[in-house]
Amino acid sequence: MAETIQLEVTRYSPEHDAAPALQRFEVPYRKDWVVLDALNYIKDKLDGSLSYRWSCRMGICGSCGMMVNGEPKLTCATFLSHYAPGAVRVEPLRYFPVVRDLVIEMTDFMVKLQKVKPWIIRKDEKSIADGEYRQTPQQLDVYKQFSMCINCMLCYAACPVYGLDPLFTGPAAIALAQRYNMDSRDEGARERMDILSQHEGIWACTFVGECTKACPKNVDPAGAIQQYKLTAAKEWFKSLLVPWGAK
């Protein structure tokens, strides 16, 4: 006798619905299935109109972030067996506008990510003939943890400040800014500081710490933000005491 498990999935079709509502589906229960497998089963066999994002199904692309029983998870990395026999509630990622069903609008994150300039900034570029920018393993270790971010936005769904304050830059963007600030090849810390420190950017963070708990890649964005605050504060005092310092 085949076992099944209940999935409660948010449905929202802006043409017909005023607000999202949960729809129940009965899905086969396999011990090795993840929530994404269940969603794919629904779309293949039960209701082809269900809309959601997914891609690599192995926890590296960051596409399939959703709320599973109220917690932000990658659906490709969350096993049904963890919730069995109870129902599994799948909702769109929290604190983002819902476009349709489980699909959220992520432009706000994209804009904030771009704003922090997540690329190597150099005052003068070396020519190809001069060779590569070399880096020791120790220099890599300083920022490596922050470079593991897959932009899945689970941290944004975990962060209450992001939900309450539209000006807050958010965990992943600040962690990525810190990743480049701490990269020995980068010379853009000053530029990023001006963007992040003097606006709502980082100061709205109150170190709730849920972003780090939600992160599937152990990036520890909360730690990155606190370290950035410390750096920004030091820079601020330096700029007060040494106003003629190099900008």
Partner 1 sequence: MAEEAPKKFLEPLFWTLFSAGGVVAALLMPVHIFLFGLALPLGWLQDLSHGRALALIEHPLVRIYLFVFCSLPLFHWAHRFRYTLYDGLQIKHLNEVITVFCYGGAIIGTALAGYVLWSIP
Partner 2 sequence: MTRHEAKGATQYTPYHPRWYRTRVSTYWWLWKWYYLKFVLRELSSIFVAYFVVITLLQIHSLGRGPDAYVRFEERMRNPLMIALNAISFLFVLFHTITWFNLAPRAMVAHLGGKRVPDALIACSNYVAWLAISAVVAWFILR
Phi, psi of 128 (to 5 degrees): -60, -35
Least Å from the CB of residue 220 to partner 2:
7
Binding segment for partner 2 among 43-51, 77-85, 119-127, 135-143 (CB under 8 A)?
A: 135-143
Round to whole Å and give the CA distance between 35 and 44: 14
From the list partner 2, partner 1, none, partner contacted by residue 197 (C-beta under 5 to 8 A by kind): partner 1
Chain residues that interact with partner 1, rule: CB under 8 A? 160-161, 164-165, 167, 197-200, 203-204, 206, 229, 232-233, 235-237
Stretch that binds partner 2, among 24-32, 36-44, 122-130, 218-226 (CB under 8 A): 218-226
Q: Which amino acid is at 119?
A: W
Residue ranges in 156-175 that form contacts with partner 2 under rule CB under 8 A = 160, 163-164, 166-167
Stretch binding partner 2 (CB under 8 A), from 36-44, 54-62, 193-201, 235-243: 193-201
Q: How many CA atoms lie within 13 A of 162 on its CB side?
A: 28
Q: What share of the chain is helix, strand, coil (3-state, %, to 5)?
A: 40, 15, 45
Which residues have C-beta within 8 Å of that of residue 213, sequence separation ≥ 6?
158
Distance of closest approach, residue 233 Cβ to partner 1, in angstroms:
4
Query: Measured at the alpha carbon of residue 221, what is the angle toward residues 209 and 135, in degrees to the nearest 5?
Result: 150
Minimal distance, residue 97 CB to partner 1, in Å: 17
